[in-house]
Structure 1
C-alpha cells in the first residue's frame, strides 16, 4: 500500500478553524508544503494535527461527498439516477467500476490521510497536558474508527455475509509513518472481522473518554455512541445497538428540528445533528466538479450545481402518506448535461453543514433494534412510539402497529439520499435491484495504484488478479 509518509496540514478559515491551530506559526505553511511527525513538538502542534484530520473528513473523498454519495450511486435501484457525464461516477452507478478508478483511489487515499493524522495525535499524546490528554486521544480514536468503518464498508463484503473472518477488508495501520520502513509499513488487507474489532475498540474508548460536548462542530461522546449504534446494527448486535442509540436519545440533549426542512441546509449544526461536517464559502468540499451539493444541486439554481444526481421517481412509492413532507422535499430542475427532473432538497445549497448522523436515525435504530432483539426493551419508548415520533415531525399519519421490516421502510423514507440505503440493504441481505446484497460489484475494487506498490494487497473478486 502506498502509505502517506507525512501529515498534510491544511490551514483554513471558517467553522473548521479550531482553537489552537490559528496561533501555531509552525503550521502557517504554503499550500503543498507538509509537516513531518518529528516536527510536532508541542501540545498546540498535536491539536493542529487533530484539526487537520477533521479538515480531511470534510474533503470530497470523505464526508464532503463520497462517503455519502457513493453508497447511494452504488446502491442505485429505485432511489437515485445518475444523469451526468463523468465516467468514473457513471461506472459506480452502473456497478461497473475498474481497478484504475479515480474514485476508488481517492476514497482509499483520503481515508489513510485521515487515519495517519489520528495515529500521529495518538502517538504524540505525551505532549498533551494531563487535563486534556485522554479527551484528545479519544477524539483521534473516534476519527480513526469512523474512517475505518467507511473503508470496511466500501472495500469489504458486509459483516452480514457470514464470512467476516475470511473476507478481506483493508490494511490496519495503527502507528504513524515517521520514517518509512517497507518491512513494517507495507501491510496486507486485514479481515473484515479484524477491522470491526478495531473500530469497536476505538469508538468504545472515544465514547468513554470524550466530553459530552465539544466546540465548533467537533465530535463528542454522543457522536461516538451514534457510530457505535451503526456498527452494532451492522453486526446484528441489536441490544447493544439499541443501548447506544438510547443513550444518545436520553442523554445527549438533542432534539428533532421543528420541521423536516430545518434539518438541512444550515450554517451551523441543527438541534438534531449528532455529528456533522462544517462548511462555508472559505472551506468546503468543492463547488465545481466535486462536493455533495455540486453533484446533487440543480444546474439552474444560483449558485449552480451540476445536477448530476436526480431523484428516481420510483422512490415516491415508498411513502404511504401523501401528506408526508419528506415525499415532497424535492424540486424540479435541470442537469448541466441537459434535461430536467426532480432533485432532493437535502443538498440544494452550497456552504452548508452536512449532517452525518441525525437524531432521527437514532430513533429508528432504537426502534428496529428493539423490534429484532428478542430481549427486554431498551429505553422508555416502544418501536411503534419511536417510529411515530419520526413520522409526526414529517406530517405523516401515525401507524397503529409496526414490525421490524416496517421500521426499515421508515428508515428508507427518512434517510433517503443520506448514504444509508446501500448499507441497510446489505446488513439485511436485501437485493439491490437484481443483484444480491453480497454481489462482487457492490464493493469497490482495491485501487490498482495501491497494488502496484504493495504486492501483498489482494484484489476483490471480479476486478482481476
Structure 2
C-alpha cells in the first residue's frame, strides 16, 4: 500500500514538500541503512550507548520478521541465530537469571531483577551479613553496560538537559509508583496472574504471593517459619491506587532514583533476549516448530516460567514475548505484524477491543503538517 512515510535523503531543505513513499520503498530504505550500518559499525563499542554490528543485526531481524516478504523469515532466522551463536563476549544472555544476587540472603534480588531495578549502575561489592563469622563479600553486577544489553539510551546530566528528560519526560515517571497524585501506567491483574504463583495469607490486609518466575517476582514482605521474606520483584502490589477495579500492579523496571541520581539510569532498548525470541519466532515461521518449542520452553524455564505445549505455537511465542518485554514497547508491534486485534479485558473505558485493520493501529498526520505540505495524504479514516 502507499501509506509509507516520506523519504528525504538529501540535505535539509524546508521548502520541499515530499509525498509519502510506498511501504515497500520504506522497507527497502530501512534495510539499506541497517545493512550499511552493519558494515561500518564497531563490533564491540566502548559503551552500550553506542550502536554496534550486533544492534544492526537485531534490528534487521526485526524488520524481516515484520515485512514478511518471501524469504524474509529465513533472513530473520539468519541474523538472530548469528547473534545468539556468534556474538562477541560483550553480548550474551543474562547469566543465571533466577539466582539470587546474594545467595545467602533470601530477600535479595534475583539476577534478572537486579538487571532492571538494582540500585547500582556499575558493579558493586556487597558484604552480607555486614558483620560476624559468616560474612561474605559478593560482586553484584551493575545494571548498565550489561552483556544482556545490546543498546541502551544514554541518560546523564548533560544529555538530560538537552533532551528534557526529567520529572515529566521519563519512563520512570510514566511507571512511577511513589506518587499518588498523578496518573501512571499499571499492568492488569489478569496479566499479573498469568505468571505461575502461589497465593499466601495476607499480611496486615495486604495480599501476599510467591512466584518462581523472576519477571513477576513475589509480594511476600514478611518472614514466617520456613518461608522468608522475598524481594519485592519487578511487578509489585505495594502502594496501589485503591480506585482501580480490579486493582492493577506496578513495575519496577524503570527505577527513578539510583546510585547515579534521579533519572540517570540508562534505558534498555535492545536486549539479547530479543535475539533469542526472534530466532524462535523465525523457526516457527520457517516451519521448524519442534525446535522452536524446545527453545521456547528452555527460555521460559530460564526465567522460572511456565512451559508451553506448542498447540498454538504463535500464541505461545507471543505470550512469552509479552511476559519478557512488558513495559518495553514490544507488544504493539507483535500484534500489528501478525494482524492481531488489541484486546483489553479489564480496566478500560474506551477502545477496549481494536480490530487488527482499525485506523488506530496507525498514527495520524497532524493537521498542521497537512496544511503545510499539500502532497501528504492522511491515513484513511482520520
| Aligned partners of 1:440 and 1:461 also within 8 Å | yes
Point out the structure with the larger helix share: 1
| Aligned partners of 1:330 and 1:343 also within 8 Å | yes
Rg: which structure is higher?
2
Q: Please tell me whether residue 189 in structure 1 is matched to residue 24 in structure 2.
A: no
Larger RCO (CA within 8 A; separation ≥ 6) = 1
Deviation at 1:400, TM superposition (A): 6.3
3-state SS of paired residue (1:357): strand
* 1:225 maps to which of 49, 54, 57: 57
Alpha-carbon spacing, 1:459–1:362, altered in 2? closer, same or farther (3 Å): same
Aligned to 1:373: 286
TM-score scaled by length of structure 1: 0.57
| Aligned partners of 1:299 and 1:306 also within 8 Å | no
Q: Please tell me whether residue 296 in structure 1 is matched to residue 175 in structure 2.
A: yes
1:203 & 1:324 partners in 2: Cα distance? 35
Q: Please tell me whether residue 205 in structure 1 is matched to residue 115 in structure 2.
A: no
2:179 & 2:283 partners in 1: Cα distance? 44
Q: Please tell me whether residue 261 in structure 1 is matched to residue 84 in structure 2.
A: no
Correspondences of 1:43-122 after superposition (within 5 Å): none
| Aligned partners of 1:334 and 1:341 also within 8 Å | no
| Aligned partners of 1:170 and 1:189 also within 8 Å | yes
Task: Structure 1 unaligned segments of length 5 or more: list them.
Answer: 1-165
Deviation at 1:213, TM superposition (A): 1.4
Alpha-carbon spacing, 1:175–1:338, altered in 2? closer, same or farther (3 Å): farther
1:416 & 1:300 partners in 2: Cα distance? 21
Which of structure 1's runs of 4+ aligned residues deviate more than 4 A? 333-341, 397-402
| Aligned partners of 1:384 and 1:401 also within 8 Å | yes
Give the count of matched residue pairs: 287
* 1:343 maps to which of 250, 266, 276: 250
1:462 & 1:325 partners in 2: Cα distance? 42
1:181 & 1:289 partners in 2: Cα distance? 31
Task: Structure 2 unaligned segments of length 5 or more: list them.
Answer: 98-111, 122-143, 198-210, 218-233, 257-262, 344-352
TM-score scaled by length of structure 2: 0.68
Deviation at 1:407, TM superposition (A): 1.6
- Once the two structures are superposed, what CA deviation does each residue of 1:119-146 show, in whole Å capped at 9, x if it has no partner? xxxxxxxxxxxxxxxxxxxxxxxxxxxx
After the TM superposition, which of the residue ranges 190-199 and 404-413 deviates more from structure 2?
Answer: 404-413
* 2:151 maps to which of 275, 287, 291: 275
Deviation at 1:398, TM superposition (A): 4.7
1:348 & 1:338 partners in 2: Cα distance? 24
| Alignment root-mean-square deviation, CA | 2.8
Aligned to 2:212: 323
3-state SS of paired residue (1:176): coil
